[in-house]
Chains A and B, each alone.
Chain A
């Protein structure tokens, strides 16, 4: 234990003095939340714009009921920049025609070739149509006719692009960037302390000392895990500040980096950090040089990305919720959305994470006993 502590202390001093490792962690931890914030603001802007459609309505006084109906559906008269180039004019005879059950005229003026307007125009037309058929139904009822005779088709459209599901996508990315920070922060130290150790010819010297390979592996894993957790803490602190500037209310939920969330993230992140460090150490010990390890790790780092992205795009969701990284990601998403935390899912994915990490440690212990690995024979 004493030796492990001595190793951890040395590795952390060594890493802290290695500008390359520290900067890689820092850039990611500071840069990513800011990048995410920018993305969120753009996305929220796109998602929330259909909520309110501002057009020019002329002679609104002629049809107060219609105007109220449109207003309820988010279409209203507006002034200033947000107004779309669509004009709705109510004819002067509107009220009189309506009262006589004659077609009352409303005029929509807009440039239909303008692609940016098409969505808004059809939305307005759809709403006018709906109002029209509602009025028609009322007239039929007043004459003792079931209005359903006028509706031979019943069309039901399920629009799945709700704010919540679209938000879920970006929320998944936000949480993933935090989980991913343990991989990024651990990377340079993991390479430096394994392949780098061999490149500097200090690995054989280290193994010549009276310590077991298990102690050596544990020392390195603990040091790299500490570094990974440091990256996680840093990204949470930066995110906490940065995410305050995102207009979350437009999405119907908010990514609030509360102390509770930070605590949960830290607890859930610990096994992931362990996995990140063992996985990267394991792969780097296979490589003979720093550069070789780097190119292997770029491939390895794709695995957590793939797991997370597959979860976001609903690929095999029932398998992914039990797997490392994606399982924990979904638990954290549930927490953010205010749902109940799926404890079983959390327990199993965390256990899987730890089991894989232990298997990798045992693998490393074995491989460091092999002459081939130590001397690259």
Chain B
């Protein structure tokens, strides 16, 4: 479970987060939906303790990130934007390296790596160096890195960008499987269909603030619109920075 309460953060002159509060429950997929520049990435970075909020707290499984960052990070898996692959390592080495950095011992890390490679159908590319990988292959490698240590919370920053239909479907299936295993999945996106298709709960963000929270259907009802897209535009009051 991830909870953020009254987060505010100013980056330079921009108020990136403005008294932001929400929570993402276990066994649910929570979507952080907002136009470009709404503060989605800033919010996720704050959850990881990479950015320090000016005020407010963020907790992972009731561990305050500001007090025990290491303990909080142990409960987290990150699928970052951009992926941050090491081009000279193979996916097997890459995944295992981050498994060990997540606190696993060598042998369990190796076993977990083999398992996640199997799970994501990475076997054919697992021992090739990452240089020259397609966007889909990169996505899979980065995703494997995020879930290899079976964290209770998985955070994905814009996971579907640049993916083809097959990769998007695979990603969707994996996220649903994670949800069914009881993980807390939080992802940020500005792609409507993605959010509508996957999320149990949507947090609509604009200018660092929560505008509305609810299931896609609730949001439509709340605004009296038929599609999430129209509801979204009605909620944030502009169609700037949205991908349909």
Contact = CB atoms under 8 A, between A and B. Distances in A.
Interface of A: 2-3, 6-7, 10, 13-14, 17-18, 200-212, 371, 374-375, 377
Provide the main secondary structure of the chain B interface. loop
A198 to B, nearest CB: 10
Provide the main secondary structure of the chain A interface. helix
A3 B101 contact: yes
Interface stretch (B17-25, B30-38, B71-79, B216-224): B71-79
A14 B97 CA distance: 12
B84 A204 contact: yes
Contact of A211 (B50, B70, B80): B70
B48 interface: yes
B45 interface: yes
A208 B74 contact: no
Nearest to B98: A209
B133 interface: no
Nearest to B129: A17
Contacts of B71: 210
Given A205-B98, A208-B73, A375-B51, 16 more contacts: A2-B105, A3-B100, A6-B97, A7-B101, A10-B86, A14-B86, A18-B88, A200-B86, A203-B84, A204-B45, A205-B84, A209-B101, A210-B71, A210-B74, A211-B101, A375-B45
Contacts of B52: 371
8 contacts: A6-B101, A14-B88, A200-B87, A201-B80, A201-B82, A212-B70, A371-B51, A375-B50
B218 to A, nearest CB: 32
A200 B85 contact: yes
Given A204-B45, A209-B102, A17 B70 contact: no
Interface of B: 11-12, 45, 48, 50-52, 70-71, 73-74, 76, 78, 80, 82-89, 93, 97-98, 100-103, 105-106, 129, 145
A103 to B, nearest CB: 85
Nearest to A19: B88
A17 B71 CA distance: 34
Contacts of A212: 70
B157 to A, nearest CB: 10
Q: Which interface residue of B11, B52, B97 has the most chain A CB atoms within 10 A?
A: B97
Contacts of B97: 6, 10
B100 A208 contact: no
Contacts of A18: 88
Q: Which interface residue of A7, A17, A377 has the most chain B CB atoms within 10 A?
A: A17
Given A10-B93, A201-B80, A377-B11, A206 B101 contact: yes
A208 to B, nearest CB: 4
Contacts of B83: 201
B88 A17 contact: yes
Q: Which interface residue of A18, A201, A377 has the most chain B CB atoms within 10 A?
A: A201
A375 B129 CA distance: 27
A340 to B, nearest CB: 48
Contacts of A10: 86, 89, 93, 97
Nearest to A9: B97
Contacts of B80: 201, 204-205, 208
B141 to A, nearest CB: 12
A33 to B, nearest CB: 29
Contacts of A209: 73, 98, 101-102
B11 A202 contact: no
A371 B9 CA distance: 12
Contact of A14 (B50, B84, B89): B89
Contacts of B82: 201
B52 to A, nearest CB: 7
A210 B88 contact: no
Contacts of A200: 84-87
Contacts of B84: 200-206
Contacts of B85: 200, 202
Contacts of B76: 208
Contacts of B103: 3, 210
Closest 8 CB pairs of A and B: A202-B84, A6-B100, A210-B73, A205-B84, A17-B88, A209-B101, A210-B74, A201-B82
A13 B89 contact: yes
Contacts of B105: 2
A13 B76 CA distance: 27
A374 B50 contact: yes
